[in-house]
A and B are shown apart, each in its own frame.
Chain A
Amino acid sequence: AQSVSQHNHHVILSEAASLELGCNYSYGGTVNLFWYVQYPGQHLQLLLKYFSGDPLVKGIKGFEAEFIKSKFSFNLRKPSVQWSDTAEYFCAVTLDTGGFKTIFGAGTRLFVKA
């Protein structure tokens, strides 16, 4: 079955620490990959996406992610987190199965200590 796995459910970091959130998917066909973020009290919003070209994509607020096709992974990174990065992060994959279906991971709650 198609699925998206996020390895960490809760992450606690101090400001200026580096961040890497893992995301793996299981699907052998064409995919488009996304990271969404939900800040406290706000709607889900797009952080970055990959659909073709350079597998290293840059998003808002200094985030980046790398698509490694051979590992079915799309890990999110940020060199130096800030308190304002405290949020829940969701990895999502859109599958081309004849129609389009988006599967989300369970999310990772990040708490950054000031």
Chain B
Amino acid sequence: GAGVSQSPSNKVTEKGKDVELRCDPISGHTALYWYRQRLGQGLEFLIYFQGNSAPDKSGLPSDRFSAERTGESVSTLTIQRTQQEDSAVYLCASSLDVGGADEQFFGPGTRLTVL
């Protein structure tokens, strides 16, 4: 596609439910990143993928958070037993390669609200 897409754009869920967020990166981009942005705050790194493997999972806040990537393409971020503090915008980005110097292209984000 022309850019990074994310779905859903908005998700409202009840505390304790599981949610799955999807990211479709730009075709051919090896690297894929997930960030969380709480209201009024900067982007918080969660995880990145190089191909289908995740060399750095250090940003995942707890074991309720997991992510996978298949076919060096689509990625899903799963949050189990959601809590109110999980409410945020979840941003996905992709870049041509992971080398630190490549521009990251961002999607529109998924706004998650946990009631």
Contacts and interface: CB of A to CB of B under 8 A. Distances in A.
Interface in B61-94: 91, 93
Contacts of A107: 41-42
Contacts, number: 65
A10 to B, nearest CB: 11
Interface residues of B, number: 28
B43 A94 contact: no
Contact of B43 (A30, A49, A101, A104): A104
A101 B101 contact: no
What 9 A-B pairs have minimum CB-CB distances, sorted nearest first?
Answer: A106-B42, A99-B55, A51-B101, A104-B43, A44-B106, A94-B100, A99-B56, A32-B100, A46-B103
Interface of A: 4, 6, 30, 32, 34, 36, 43-46, 49, 51, 90, 92, 94-107
